Amino acid sequence: MSTITPEILLKAYAAGIFPMAESDDDPALYWIDPEKRGILPLGDFHVSKRLIRTIKRQRFQVRIDTSFDEVINACARQSADRPSTWINERIVSLYSQLFKMGHCHTIEAWQDGELAGGLYGIRLGGAFFGESMFTTKTDASKVALVYLVARLIHGGFTLLDTQFVTDHLKRFGTLEVSREAYHMLLAQALNRQGDFFSFSVDAGPEEVLQLVSQTS
């Protein structure tokens, strides 16, 4: 993968493949095409009552694409709960280029002027490929995910790829599908043209919750 470019990376996503590093200090990248794939069905998204209350209280201000470097570096940062990550310097460089090209996006949760949590991912056609998320404040990344789902639903997206299934994502309805089933869903999504920016950045919590609740 020494000659990997942002353009090659986009072609890989369109083929159902994504890159990862063994660890943040390993310079090598590896193509991943798992037998089982995690997806978060946009038509069956779950939001807990407690998280609904948090969103209504507007504890966080949600922004789009304002601090890509901060988000990806926070996702790559080691912590007590995460002594190592799969985001190395090559990942950061490639996705930074994709961000400048308009194919990579961040959803950010801010509190008192500080970035409290967020996520980033890749957009292609009617598919969004979630890459990583982080949080420094309780519920910050969860709020970012809810706002992402509302944006994808409003924009006509049909696939939210989570790559793998985690206990955290299971709470929102993430499930595992076979490689074959995933490729079918991906092909359908790539035949669409989702509009990532059709949902207003100034949308309030009621609008967001109304959109995601329509899928429950």
User: What CA–CA distance (Å, rounded) separates 6 from 63?
Assistant: 25
Q: What is the pLDDT along the chain (216 residues), one digit of tens a residue?
A: 457 899 999 999 999 999 998 887 888 899 999 999 999 999 999 999 999 999 999 999 999 999 999 999 999 987 656 656 889 999 999 999 999 999 999 999 999 999 999 999 999 999 999 999 999 999 999 999 999 999 999 999 999 999 999 998 999 999 999 999 999 999 999 999 999 999 999 999 999 999 998 754
Question: How much is the pLDDT for 214?
Answer: 73
Is this prediction's pTM over 0.85?
A: yes
- 6-213 in CATH: which number? 3.40.630.70
DSSP per-residue codes, 109-137: EEETTEEEEEEEEEEETTEEEEEEEEESS
List the domain boundaries for the chain: 6-213
User: What CA–CA distance (Å, rounded) separates 157 from 152?
Assistant: 5
Question: How much is the pLDDT for 53?
Answer: 96
Length of the chain: 216
DSSP lists the bridge partners of residue 169 as: none
Question: How much is the pLDDT for 188?
Answer: 98
